[in-house]
């Protein structure tokens, strides 16, 4: 999958279409204080009864994301490109 290095897309902060630069997706750092993380830590430290592993269905591929940076306001948003796939995104410069 190929995507151009600069695209025109909707910016929800400017409330209109602006020119946005495209770069690879980087995950945000989480504080580790969300309720799901705290509950999981309590469960594996032994405060809850036996913890059975959940069986998740296997998914084919990942949803490919890119980061978009608005040229006028400078805010960064992410966007999913296409559906689940095993191919990686190439950003054309
Ligand atoms: Zn903007």
Q: What's the angle, vertex CA 30, arms to CA 2 and CA 41, rounded to 5?
A: 125
82 CA distance to ligand 1 centroid (A)? 23
Domains of the chain in start order, with CATH, are 2-92 (3.10.450.80)
The CA 8 to ligand 1 mean position distance, Å, reads 11
Q: How far is the CA of 93 from the centre of ligand 1 (A)?
A: 21
The pTM (predicted TM-score) of the whole model is 0.68
What is the Å distance from ligand 1's center to 91 Cα? 21
**pLDDT in single tens digits along all 93 residues of the chain:** 788 889 999 999 999 999 999 999 888 888 889 999 998 888 888 877 777 777 889 988 888 899 999 999 999 999 998 888 888 888 887
């Amino acid at each position: 999958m190929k995507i151009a290095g600069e695209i025109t897309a909707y910016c929800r902060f400017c409330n209109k279409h602006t020119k946005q630069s495209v770069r690879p997706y980087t995950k945000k750092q989480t504080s580790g204080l969300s309720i799901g993380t705290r509950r999981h830590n309590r469960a594996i430290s032994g405060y809850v009864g036996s913890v059975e592993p959940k069986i998740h269905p296997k998914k084919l591929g990942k949803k490919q994301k890119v980061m978009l940076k608005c040229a006028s306001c400078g805010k960064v948003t992410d966007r999913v490109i296409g559906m689940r796939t095993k191919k990686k995104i190439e950003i054309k410069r």
